[in-house]
Structure 1
Amino acid sequence: MAYDAVVLVSFGGPERPEDVMPFLQNVTRGRGVPPERLEEVAEHYQHFGGVSPINQQCRELLAAIREDFAANGIDLPVYWGNRNWDPMLADTVAQMRDDGVQHALAFVTSAFGGYSSCRQYQEDIAAARAAVGADAPLVDKLRQFWDHPGFVEPHADAVRVALAQLDPAKRSTTRLVFTAHSIPDSMDANAGPHGFRYTAQLAETARLVHAAAAPDLEYDLVWQSRSGPPQVPWLEPDVNDHLAALAAQGVTGVVVSPIGFVSDHLEVVWDLDTEALETAKQLGLDFVRAGTPGTDPRFVTMVRELVRERTDPEGATLRRRLGELPLWDTCPTVCCVPTRRPS
């Protein structure tokens, strides 16, 4: 199939203090999040001057992808559009139309399946195209990449670097803790027609990173950054609760690896580098947070490889992966639609 552009699709974030609350209202519209919770999260952004790191990280990734494409013979322009803040995806799709783009591939900055991490981005793309009109370019989302070497290997190297900062004499009482964004239990329970879950993909990534980085250590997969009304069950345990449980078991140090994320955006620098670090200090735990792929050359190469899977006639033979879960190229429209939205 012929494609004539690639678009980087991400979450978006505020870049001025006055944009924080409008941004959060965009994110949570229709989800029944209490106003006091929005105020609490707004304070997290204000702690960093009202600026989310994610947009700058997208700019850096965009530049790296463009440079990599040019060096490797991929003659496709690369655009960027966000779900929740400027540059908004609908504006980007309009620019693509004005530039003559007819059929684009979308690389979404989320490795996993599930509603918020995959299906909602499909809906965002459809809504952006509808807003642009009948002459909007077609946009096909690239596949999920939870077990691609370009995602797993940078996480594994980051774990090794983090472990080197802890006392090797205490390695037998050191634990590796993988984290990802929590979601409502109801979303995870809706596995879709392929019979997989968000939690299963995260567990596979955790297994792969653990095996590559520190197979001698015990590890856990826990959750962070939950939001929404308190009466709605979300995935547990929360990372802070888990740190307390580990301290009670005699663990002396932890490396926390945010495998649910591709870069160090606010859920990492606040929820882990601020809140979880403070929890660890109070518990007397040594704590090091491992890095994320960001613009690691292997991650950038992965984007090129995902594009070539879709543009090369032999694309299926180019597919690189490390895991054992089922994998597919495109998702049916009934995949990962929640049975009910959290309220």
Structure 2
Amino acid sequence: MSYDALLWLSFGGPEGPADVRPFLENVTRGRGVPPERLDEVEKHYLHFGGVSPINELNRSAIAAVEPLLEMPIYFGNRNWHPMVEDTLAEMKAAGVKRALVFPTSAYGGYSACRQYDEDILRARTAVGEGAPELVKLRQFFDHPLFVDSFADAVRAAAEGLTEYRLVFTAHSIPLSADKAAGPPEEGGGRYSRQVAEAARLVAGKLGVADYDVVWQSRSGPPQIPWLEPDIVDHVEELAGKGVPAVVVCPIGFVSDHLEVVWDLDTEAREKAEELGVGFARAATPNGDPRFAQLVAELVAEHTSGVQPRKLSDFTSAGCTVNGELCAPMCCEPARRPQRPQTSS
């Protein structure tokens, strides 16, 4: 089947101080997040001048992929400009009839996968008649180029360290959301199991048998259980055990966006320094030429019938057409607990 373009679909981020609050309101719309929490997160962005690295990182990655493809690449976001609805309208005006979609997440789960299907459906609805057909590419957490890139990044980060603990980290989600991640027959947990598998594959490349998988960037109320332990708490625990240094591999992220530069390079590093623990952080893959090649290979699976390259037995999930689910009830959003009724 032929395709006219690739849509690079990402999360989005503010590109100036005035963008920060409306961006955060877009991210949290309908989720009941209190204003005080937005105030706290807003400070993280303002610490970096109100600019998230994510848009520029995406533009750089797109520039690296473009020479490898025989089709134009369009860039759209879920939460900030360029918004995916506007990008899809631009694609329609340019005569694009059918396009592939690369979502900038390697994993399953609601936010990492299904919400991109919702973005596609919303954008096509907004554009209306004549909206391009959109085929989303599969999850790639176990692609050998993804694994090799992280393995080399860990080696570079650990250079000069004679003794350290390898710690993998990914964005935490509520336990209820992780349970809903994956078709019912899988029993849920697709996201956390995929993260654990990616960590196992990278550690195997490094010859490391003993390592940790932890979580970061929790943003929910304390009464709702999330995936644990948190990276900062884990650094404190390792310090108590006399671990001299940690090498942190952000296996859950494809680029150095705000959750990486704040939660790891700022908060976790500061905690390590406070406790006298050495701290090194492995680079994320989108600056590695192998990441561009990975995207080109995912595209070739559709355009040239190239066989998928995988290092695990996990199903090649996530590939969808026009936002349709790849499996019934897959990666459903977590349901927020109902507020208790009060008598008037």
Q: Which of the five TM-score ranges fits, normalised by the shorter chain?
A: over 0.9
> What SS does the corresponding residue of 1:178 show, helix, strand or coil?
strand
Cα distance between partner residues in 2 of 1:339 and 1:17: 31
Q: C-alpha deviations, 1:80-126, integer Å up to 9, x for none?
A: 00000000000000000000111111001100000000000100110
One-letter amino acid of the structure 2 residue matched with residue 198 of structure 1:
Y
> What SS does the corresponding residue of 1:26 show, helix, strand or coil?
helix
Q: 1:341 deviation in Å?
A: 4.4
Other-structure match for 1:267: 259
Q: 1:10 deviation in Å?
A: 0.5
Cα distance between partner residues in 2 of 1:191 and 1:35: 28
Q: 1:165 deviation in Å?
A: 3.7
Q: 1:134 deviation in Å?
A: 1.8
Other-structure match for 2:312: 323
Q: Which range moved further: 20-29 or 289-298?
A: 289-298
**Residues 31, 342 of structure 1: 8 Å contact kept:** no
Task: Return the match for 1:305 from 291, 297, 304.
Answer: 297
**Residues 44, 270 of structure 1: 8 Å contact kept:** yes
Other-structure match for 1:153: 148
TM-score (norm 2): 0.92
Q: 1:294 deviation in Å?
A: 1.5
Cα distance between partner residues in 2 of 1:36 and 1:285: 32
Other-structure match for 1:258: 250
Runs of 5+ consecutive residues of structure 2 not aligned to the other structure: 321-325, 339-344
> What SS does the corresponding residue of 1:288 show, helix, strand or coil?
strand
Cα distance between partner residues in 1 of 2:85 and 2:336: 24
Q: 1:187 deviation in Å?
A: 0.8
> What SS does the corresponding residue of 2:6 show, helix, strand or coil?
strand
When the two chains are superposed, the root-mean-square deviation of aligned CA atoms in Å is 1.4
Other-structure match for 1:14: 14
Other-structure match for 2:230: 238
Other-structure match for 1:129: 124
**Residues 92, 132 of structure 2: 8 Å contact kept:** yes
Say yes or no: does 1:139 pair with 2:137: no
Give the 3 Å change call, closer, same or farther, for CA 237–280 of structure 1 in structure 2. same
Q: C-alpha deviations, 1:135-178, integer Å up to 9, x for none?
A: 11111110000000121111110000111142x1xx2xx21000
Q: Which range moved further: 292-301 or 7-16?
A: 292-301
**Residues 94, 132 of structure 1: 8 Å contact kept:** yes
Say yes or no: does 1:291 pair with 2:280: no
One-letter amino acid of the structure 2 residue matched with residue 185 of structure 1:
L
Q: 1:324 deviation in Å?
A: 2.6
One-letter amino acid of the structure 1 residue matched with residue 99 of structure 2:
A
Other-structure match for 1:190: 180
Say yes or no: does 1:247 pair with 2:247: no
**Residues 174, 334 of structure 2: 8 Å contact kept:** no
Give the 3 Å change call, closer, same or farther, for CA 127–341 of structure 1 in structure 2. farther
Say yes or no: does 1:112 pair with 2:107: yes
Q: 1:342 deviation in Å?
A: 6.8
Equivalent pairs, count: 329
Other-structure match for 2:323: none
Cα distance between partner residues in 2 of 1:26 and 1:199: 26
One-letter amino acid of the structure 1 residue matched with residue 165 of structure 2:
R
Say yes or no: does 1:103 pair with 2:98: yes
Q: 1:245 deviation in Å?
A: 1.1
**Residues 93, 137 of structure 1: 8 Å contact kept:** yes
> What SS does the corresponding residue of 1:319 show, helix, strand or coil?
coil
**Residues 184, 342 of structure 1: 8 Å contact kept:** no
Q: C-alpha deviations, 1:18-54, integer Å up to 9, x for none?
A: 1101000100111111211111111011111000000
Say yes or no: does 1:64 pair with 2:64: yes
Give the 3 Å change call, closer, same or farther, for CA 191–83 of structure 1 in structure 2. closer
Other-structure match for 1:72: none
One-letter amino acid of the structure 2 residue matched with residue 50 of structure 1:
G
Q: 1:244 deviation in Å?
A: 1.0
> What SS does the corresponding residue of 2:80 show, helix, strand or coil?
coil
Other-structure match for 1:204: 197
Cα distance between partner residues in 2 of 1:311 and 1:67: 16
> What SS does the corresponding residue of 1:294 show, helix, strand or coil?
helix
Q: 1:2 deviation in Å?
A: 2.3
